[in-house]
Structure 1
Amino acid sequence: YRTRLTHSLEAAQIGTGITAQLQGKFPRLTEYVSLDPYLIETLCLAHDIGHPPFGHGGEIALHYMMHQHGGFEGNGQTFRIVTRLEPYTAEHGMNLSRRSVLGLVKYPNFIDTLTNQDIVPADELRMRQVKAENWHPPKGLFRCDENLFDWLLDPLKPEERDAFMAFNQSAGKHGKTSHKSFDCSVMELADDIAYGIHDLEDAIVMGMVKRAEFSEELEKPLIELKVPWLSDAISKLGDRLFSIEQFERKNAIGALVNCFITAIRIEENPQFTHPLLCYQAVLPHHHSEALALFKQFVYRKVIRKPEVQLLEYKGQQVVMELFEAFSSDPTRLLPENTRSRWLQAEEQGNGHRVIADYISGMTDEFAARLYSNMFVPKRGGVLDTLSL
């Protein structure tokens, strides 16, 4: 089954496919914006690098623990890693080009600006009572990284910078940004296709989806959408997806991916003059609705399954308890390198951010092992701790 790593590899493969077909369809335009397959591959490989252990459970846990200290969100952490934290350079993270960093910024505004305070719970809860639905973070950047964001947008005219950071605010929701760069739009489509189509394959193989459910909840709505080729082919594709022959399923998945890749086109946004902002890779309306149906189906049948949610909740508790422990006595419990960073950050009143950095950089296995060593009796001797 798929992991965040295999998902990123598949997104990268799809991203280079999108690039090739856009270069074939729009040769002059893609040359004008210097669309590059290696850049798109880089963005797809890096797009989830900031996500913490235990998926969205870990993200919600860190946002809850950080909500009075700037919040936490996986995409904002990706920006922080590539520009600051990754030890490839002393102070500049991965030292990526400005264009590469811009391509990773899916939500170009700050969490504190996008937060709708009316929907933030006022009561302090015991950690086991934290409801995930109340603590989904706004998608954006951390205010403490504003100087890096200023550097990123420095080449833009002030009016274009302001327009790029625009967001929509609606009652009962956090603000949502409206724009992204051209490269980012390609990466996001690759991400969505990989999630909606490849994750469906996992759900079928693992028996989480039955043929009858697929027919009723996905096949019928897709036929009604009248998507070119897809609506006519989906019944036969469904038979192949649920075939006992692996090659039949693989061929059907490939056909679905190809259907969406070849439909993508480039549209212009006259609001901007900069080439990387005024062009966007988009799916036609019917294809976009079809992909949304696939993603919603996977979300209902896989992500929302009680067995999956139980694991997310468990991971959520692990992350919150680790955070609580480290923040209770950072100079005693944090590793030496992280401790020195915490001491520097604490002078600016931002020590909690370093703890979030440390925990969000853990793998599921590392976090679970560390939790066991810290909190489970008869586990975690000196040698176990050193092996971490």
Structure 2
Amino acid sequence: MSSDLEPAYAPHDEQRWVQEAPKSSFRTVFERDRARVLHSSALRRLGAKTQVVAPDTDDFVRTRLTHSLEVAQIGRELGRTLGCDPDVVDTACLAHDLGHPPFGHNGESVLNDLSHDIGGFEGNAQTLRLLTRLESKVLTADGGSAGLNLTRASLDASAKYPWLAADAPLIDGRRTSKFGAYVDDLPVFEWLRRNAPTGKSCIEAQVMDLADDISYSVHDVEDAIVAGHVQLKWLANPDQRNRVLGYTQQWYLPAMDTAEIDAALQRLEATNVWVRHADGSRASMAALKDMTSQLIGRFCQSAVGATRAIYGPERLTRYAADVVVPQETAVEIAVMKGLATTFVMTTDHRQPIYQRQQDVLGELVAVLSATGDAHLETMFAADWREANDDGARTRVVIDQIASLTDVSALALHERLVGTERTLL
């Protein structure tokens, strides 16, 4: 591998949207990027935002914050092994969920429906908006906000879907609903993507994406087992097994035959770390933790080996390479996701909760839209007054609501709408 002293990132990669005065040299610009995200209020708020199960339902369950910290640990080591700057990957991993609204993907779907006329809502596009506008640290020459003013490399590494909604690629003949920037944020998006191949994410973003997939595929199953939603021995029951295979196919692998999905599940079951029954004892909890660690290592090592087999031992940064994930590994990761989907996200008792969450967000959008800046936080109220049309004002309302935690969304709803109903 090339020497660590060999520059792998050009001055172009280290540029910031707004030029800043030189700082002391004991930290690199990428270390500063990581610190800015780590100290942001948006990252702290993730501690009260739903990952899969609401944060107030269990002392053990992961939140968006603990998930992001785990993704950063996996991504940092995976990226360093491939030659990426670990702080660039770490920053992207810490930032990857900042734009998610209250109530997880359920909240994201609601806000997307309610903002359809202004370009929709997408958690990744909201992350870019937050990093470059809403989380104030650096101001532009005209007094506007440049957000955290991260370097081009770190912002680009955070761009999981580097395209606007209108430019989203076709998958099986249908345009994907995922995108990474709103039209309103086009200037900074074009700046961070300068000289980048159209529609292609850099390897640091690919590492972040894989670390995210690995983390939640394994950890969501761990959470589900500890919460009592599932025991892996249930998979010996043909009905339960077929449910898992069906949801894995429906949600994650629609073009794949269930026999191939089942083969991946069998490979996982054949490992010597698969915990078929966890009874809450220290011994079973230790075994469960070892299973999560070993599976993370299994998936990471597979990707590193496949990537190195193609690109060799050199440092792999920016657009010099792509992360290679063998299909068998990708299917195993999808099976782990399918397990959590089957036993947590699609259970009947969750459906009334999801509906109530949708009602809360819908009513909040209606009330805040009807009352101008009266109930907006100070910064958002200023944005509302500066907005030049109804669409821009609606975007401010969406920005405000997306910034809320699960708890603060419920509290604001109770204060403004006057309901005593809860999600418990």
User: What is the TM-score normalised by the length of structure 1?
Assistant: 0.76
Q: How far does residue 352 in structure 1 lie from its aligned partner after superposition? A: 1.1
Task: Report the counterpart of residue 201 of structure 1 in structure 2.
Answer: 222
Identify the match of residue 263 of structure 2 among 215, 224, 232: 224
CA distance in 2, matches of 1:115, 1:332: 40
How many residues align structurally?
A: 326
The AA in structure 2 aligned to 1:354 is V
Q: Which residue of 2 aligns with 1:6?
A: 66
* Aligned match for 1:306, one of 348, 355, 361: 348
CA distance in 2, matches of 1:355, 1:377: 20
Q: CA, structure 1 residues 335+38, in 2 after alignment: closer, same or farther (shift >3 Å)? A: closer
Match of 2:207 in 1: 186
Using the TM superposition, give the Cα deviation of residue 306 of structure 1 relative to its aligned residue in structure 2, in angstroms: 2.5
Same amino acid, percent of matched pairs: 32
Of 180, 184, 190, the residue aligned with 1:144 is 184
In the alignment, residue 148 of structure 1 is paired with which amino acid?
Answer: V
Q: CA deviation at 1:224?
A: 2.4
Match of residue 345 from structure 1:
387
1:1-388 aligned within 5 A: 1-22=61-82, 30=83, 35-90=84-139, 91-114=145-168, 137-156=177-196, 160=197, 164-165=198-199, 179-215=200-236, 217=241, 224-225=263-264, 230=268, 232-233=270-271, 237-239=274-276, 244=281, 245=283, 246-265=285-304, 266=307, 276-347=318-389, 349-376=391-418
User: Which runs of 5 or more residues in structure 1 are unaligned?
Assistant: 23-29, 117-135, 166-178, 380-388
SS in 2 for 1:333: coil
Cα distance in 2 for partners of 1:74, 1:57 equals 11
CA distance in 2: counterparts of 1:351 and 1:139, whole angstroms: 22
1:326-377 deviation per Cα after TM superposition (whole angstroms, max 9, x unaligned): 1112133333432221121235851111111111000111110011111226
Give SS of 2:299's match.
helix
Q: Structure 2: which 5+ residue stretches go unaligned?
A: 1-60, 140-144, 171-175, 246-258
Q: Which amino acid aligns with 1:232?
A: A
Give the letter aligned to residue 204 of structure 1.
I
Q: What is the RMSD of the two structures over their aligned residues, measured on CA atoms?
A: 3.0
Q: Deviations over 1:115-146 (max 9, x none)?
A: 99xxxxxxxxxxxxxxxxxxx95434211111
Q: When you count helix as a share of all residues, which structure comes out higher?
A: 1
Deviation per CA, 1:37-90: give whole Å up to 9, x if none.
222111111100000011112111211111001111101000110111111122
Residues 149/317 of structure 1: CA separation in 2 closer, same or farther (3 Å cut): same
AA matched with 1:206: A
Letter in 2 for 1:149: F
Counterpart Cα distance in 2 of 1:60 and 1:51: 11
Q: Is the 8 A contact 1:111 1:142 kept in 2?
A: yes
**Per-residue deviation, residues 232-278 of structure 1 (Å, max 9, x unmatched):** 316x5133766742111111211111111111132779xxxx96234
Distance 1:148 1:77 in 2: 13
SS of equivalent to 2:181? coil
Contact 1:204–1:242 (8 Å) recurs in 2: no
1-side partners of 2:169 and 2:75: how far apart? Answer: 31
Quickly say closer, same or farther: Cα 1:93–1:215, change in 2 above 3 A. farther
Provide, for residues 193-250 of structure 1, a one-character-per-residue CA deviation record: whole Å limited to 9, x for no partner: 11100110010011111333344537997772499x856316x513376674211111
Q: How far apart are the structure 2 equivalents of 1:82 and 1:13?
A: 21
Select between 48-57 and 279-288 the one with higher mean Cα deviation: 279-288
Q: After TM superposition, where is structure 1 displaced by more than 6 Å over at least 4 residues in a row?
A: 218-223
| Alpha-carbon contact 2:203-2:321 (below 8 Å) kept | yes
C-alpha change, 1:378 and 1:261, in structure 2 (3 Å) is closer
- Range that drifts further, 348-357 or 146-155: 348-357
CA distance in 1, matches of 2:390, 2:351: 37
> In structure 1, what is the Cα distance between the partners aligned to 2:399 and 2:78?
33
TM-score, length-scaled by structure 2: 0.70
SS at match of 2:98: coil
The question of whether the paired residues in 1 share the 8 Å contact of 2:224 and 2:230 is answered with yes
1:293 corresponds to which letter in structure 2? V
Residues 275 and 287 of structure 2 are in contact (CA less than 8 Å); yes or no, is this contact kept in structure 1?
A: no
